[in-house]
């Protein structure tokens, strides 16, 4: 099963308020993942993603007063392969294009927080569950990153709200089944 996630904004390698920066990235992926779960076969996951769910395997995490719903979890025996296309305003090959730390920041934004310190102080607590791609980044079994020069940020409506030079990313997600069971049968395509 394949789909794309899009991101436009700052990706800082070592921000001072790391938890909040990761939370801001997470919140850009949340509405895309929520929309994904409205379509087949992804809508089959919704029975596992609710408070008090009785179906097994339960995937909702309760952390910091928020319900977190990852769609790729060890309980469902799903894994992910990621192909990331990262477009940034810096010229490719310049020493200040810190790709490895930016990729780590993106991976942290794709996963559930692991403890309350990773939630971010401005994360909304009253909006219902927050959807993330991964329960944890160890579920990524393959990843490639391609970088290129973003010639203009003026095509994005909120580009002036960024402190740094924003990055545009397209993430191709290939969800695979690690071990077949009744719950992940719809994903064996």
> 3-state SS string over 67-109?
EEEEEECCCCCEEEEEEEEEEECCCCCCCCCCHHHHHHHHHHH
Q: Given pLDDT bands bounded at 50, 70 and 90, which one contains residue 92? A: low
- Distance of alpha carbon 28 from alpha carbon 25, whole angstroms: 5
Reference 177, options 110, 81, 61; nearest CA is: 81
Per-residue DSSP letter, 14: S
pLDDT, residue 108, reads: 94
What does the pLDDT read at residue 14? 73
**What pLDDT shows up at residue 120?**
84
Confidence of residue 57 (pLDDT cuts 50, 70, 90): low
User: Torsion-angle region of residue 93: left (phi > 0), alpha (psi -120 to 50) or beta?
Assistant: left
Judge whether residue 161 has pLDDT over 60.
no
Least confident interval from 15-19, 44-48, 101-105: 44-48
Mean pLDDT of 13-36: 90
Q: pLDDT band for 175, please (50, 70, 90 cuts).
A: very high
Three-state DSSP at 129 gives coil
Judged against a pLDDT cut of 60, whether residue 95 lies above it is answered with no
Q: Given this model, what pLDDT does residue 155 score?
A: 63
Say if CB 26 and CB 130 are below 8 A apart: yes
Residue 60 pLDDT: 82
């Amino acid at each position: 099963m394949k789909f794309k996630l899009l991101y436009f904004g700052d990706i800082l390698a070592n921000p001072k308020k790391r938890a909040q920066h990761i939370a801001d990235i997470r919140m850009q992926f949340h509405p895309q993942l929520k929309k994904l779960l409205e379509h087949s076969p992804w809508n089959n996951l919704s029975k596992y993603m609710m408070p008090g769910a009785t179906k097994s395997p339960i995937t909702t995490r309760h952390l910091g007063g928020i319900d977190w719903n990852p769609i790729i979890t060890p309980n469902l025996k799903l894994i992910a392969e990621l192909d990331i296309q990262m477009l940034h305003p810096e010229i490719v090959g310049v020493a200040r294009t810190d790709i490895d730390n930016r990729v780590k920041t993106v991976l942290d934004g794709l996963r559930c927080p692991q403890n309350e310190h990773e939630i971010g102080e401005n994360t909304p607590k009253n909006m219902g569950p927050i959807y993330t791609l991964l329960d944890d980044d160890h579920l990524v079994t393959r990843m490639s990153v391609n970088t290129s020069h973003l010639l203009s940020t003026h095509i994005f409506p909120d580009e002036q709200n960024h402190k740094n030079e924003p990055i545009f990313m397209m993430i191709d997600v290939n969800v695979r089944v690690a071990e077949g069971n009744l719950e992940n049968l719809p994903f064996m395509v």
